[in-house]
Amino acid sequence: MKFSKLLFILFISATVANAQNRIQNLEKAFNTLLNDEQAKHAIASLCVLDANTGKILYAKNEQIGLATASTLKTITAATAFSILGKDFQFQTTLAYTGNITADGTLKGNLIIIGSGDPTLGSWRYQNKENAVLNQWVTAIKSVGIKKIEGSVIGNDSLFGTQTTPEGWVWQDIGNYYGAGTSGLAWRENQFDIHLKPGISTAEEVKIIKTVPETPYIQIVNELKTGAAGTGDRGYAFLPPYTGIAYLRGSWGMGIGKTGISVALPDPAFDCAYRLQDTLKRLGIATNQSATTTRLMALNKQAVPGITQKISTISSPTLSEITYWFLKKSINLYGESLLKTIALKSGKAPTTAKGAETEVNFWADKGIEKSALNIIDGSGLSPGDRITTSAMANILFQAQKETWFADYYKAFPEYNGMKIKSGTINDVSAFAGYHTDSSGNKYIVVININNYSGSGINKKLFRVLDELK
């Protein structure tokens, strides 16, 4: 018995000593990063907590607010789980106005009523574009509609007309990762432009096609053929609600990609357009062009009252949405969730009210408001400023919640750790969880702003490696 106790004490002592050595080595590695030439004009911050107790094991510059990039998504997701619940689902409704005559003529309109679902028509889930359109066609036929004396209307009114958060960069808006929200989102609010580089840098890049076809958008091609190995340096400049896209930058020779993905300028219109086009090909004609409630308001047209709802599509659960939100870092999801958080809390579904709701929620749990300067839900804005201490403490508190298993599952794996990455211009960050080889559990948030050069992630990983 005495011998067993002695072995246990020696084991505990060795484990504690090993953990202490890890933290000492972590501090040395972080100081090496701070003294690196790439960090000469940068601000770097690190906060490591004991995941069991929340005790700070090591922290440096942890109270300095820094641009977060996509690590902000960890806070948005935790807030959404807390306020909406892990089983929350969006609902999109198809209805008609007016009446259906004996011969199957709808003297009225079809209306697609959005609830802000960012997954409607997404290829990642069961409710893919064709599946949604087929369900709607089936519902339309089931009520006997054979002809429409009216139009298909996309009701995008829920989130208002401001799609992109204030503070987003002009170069990002227009590209798929800069797709803004919509009360009626569709196919993750993006479409593809297939490109072919020239055989020399003197030749133009050719546009092969758009997928799907978008005849209502004019594409002005200013792309140059880039040298071999330069890859994708192409950007689309396509503001919300406009019909002209400028493609600028370069598209490298020998590139393996088929093209670029571009933000839909008006997702609700595209959704209505696709349904009307599908009906036309099936012989169910409409005598007016597809439109949206926003466009109708601009034209001072009243939105007619609904006669009957004929189909409702439920989104995947929040747990499923969060899995892709964190794994693939989909900015659209963050912005849609932030507005939905505000709506569920009884506020206007705007980015600003969502951010305010989020800050207040965590302030009630002991996080200083001044440590959470939140501009958007995705971290794409360079104006976000959050301390690594605040983010680490939110990650710690999340462990206590019933939804934590689904939250943890959604974290990507980088460098052998369950951590979310974040990258925007001269910003690199990681935040998440790690269990070392001895079973010690850590919460880690590391962030560097305004570094120079490239390849900084390898140096951040050298710091984090000391926790292994």
Strand pairing category for 308-314 and 105-107: unpaired
pLDDT at 20: 80
Specify the CATH number for the domain of residue 285: 3.50.80.20
Q: Which helix (H) or strand (E) holds 460?
A: helix 456-464
Question: Are 331 and 436 within one domain?
Answer: yes
State in Å, rounded, how far the first CA of the chain is from the last one.
33
Q: What angle do CA 420, 425, 426 make, to 5 degrees?
A: 85
Assigned domain for 11 exists = no
Dump pLDDT digits (tens) for 366-408: 999 999 999 999 999 999 999 999 999 999 999 999 999 999 9
Assigned domain for 33 exists = yes
Assigned domain for 228 exists = yes
Assigned domain for 415 exists = yes
Specify the CATH number for the domain of residue 428: 3.40.710.10
Q: What angle do CA 413, 418, 420 make, to 5 degrees?
A: 80
Q: Which domain holds residue 99?
A: 91-161+266-316
Dump pLDDT digits (tens) for 130-161: 999 999 999 999 999 999 999 999 999 999 99
Question: Are 272 and 418 within one domain?
Answer: no
Assigned domain for 23 exists = no
Assigned domain for 19 exists = no
Question: Are 370 and 396 within one domain?
Answer: yes
Alpha carbon of residue 302 to chain centroid:
33
- As a dihedral over the C-alpha atoms of residue 381, residue 260, residue 132, residue 299, rounded to 10 degrees, the angle is 70
Question: Are 410 and 325 within one domain?
Answer: yes
Question: Are 145 and 282 within one domain?
Answer: yes
Segment 87-113 shows an average pLDDT of 98
Residue entry with tokens 């609600």:
241
Instruction: Please give the full DSSP string across 66-99, using - where no structure is assigned.
Output: B--GGGGHHHHHHHHHHHH-TT---EEEEEE-SE
Question: Are 49 and 180 within one domain?
Answer: no
77: nearest Cα among 66, 67, 90, 88: 88
Residue 10, pLDDT above cutoff 90: no
Alpha carbon of residue 453 to chain centroid:
27
Dump pLDDT digits (tens) for 167-210: 999 999 999 999 999 999 999 999 999 999 999 999 999 999 99
Question: Are 380 and 328 within one domain?
Answer: yes
Assigned domain for 5 exists = no
Q: Which helix (H) or strand (E) holds 3?
A: helix 2-34
Put residue 157 in one of left, alpha, beta given phi > 0 → left and psi -120 to 50 → alpha: alpha
Question: Are 48 and 147 within one domain?
Answer: no
CA distance 166 to 187: 23
Dump pLDDT digits (tens) for 298-339: 999 999 999 999 999 999 999 999 999 999 999 999 999 999
Question: Are 451 and 351 within one domain?
Answer: yes
Whole-angstrom CA distances from 89 to 189, 316, 320, 334, 352 are 19, 6, 10, 15, 23
Question: Are 439 and 356 within one domain?
Answer: yes
Question: How many structural domains are present in the chain?
Answer: 3
Residues counted in the chain? 468
Residue 1, pLDDT above cutoff 70: no
Question: Are 108 and 226 within one domain?
Answer: no
Query: Environment class of residue 69 by beta-carbon count within 10 Å: exposed (0-12), middle (13-18) or buried (19+)?
Result: buried
Question: Are 385 and 346 within one domain?
Answer: yes
Its pTM stands at 0.94
User: DSSP letter at 173?
Assistant: B
Non-local (6+) Cβ contacts of 375 within 8 A are 165, 166, 167, 351, 355, 381, 383, 384
Q: Beta partners for 389?
A: none
Assigned domain for 390 exists = yes
26: nearest Cα among 75, 74, 59: 59
User: DSSP letter at 227?
Assistant: P
Q: Could you say which of 316, 331, 355 is where a domain stops?
A: 316
Q: Beta partners for 263?
A: 190
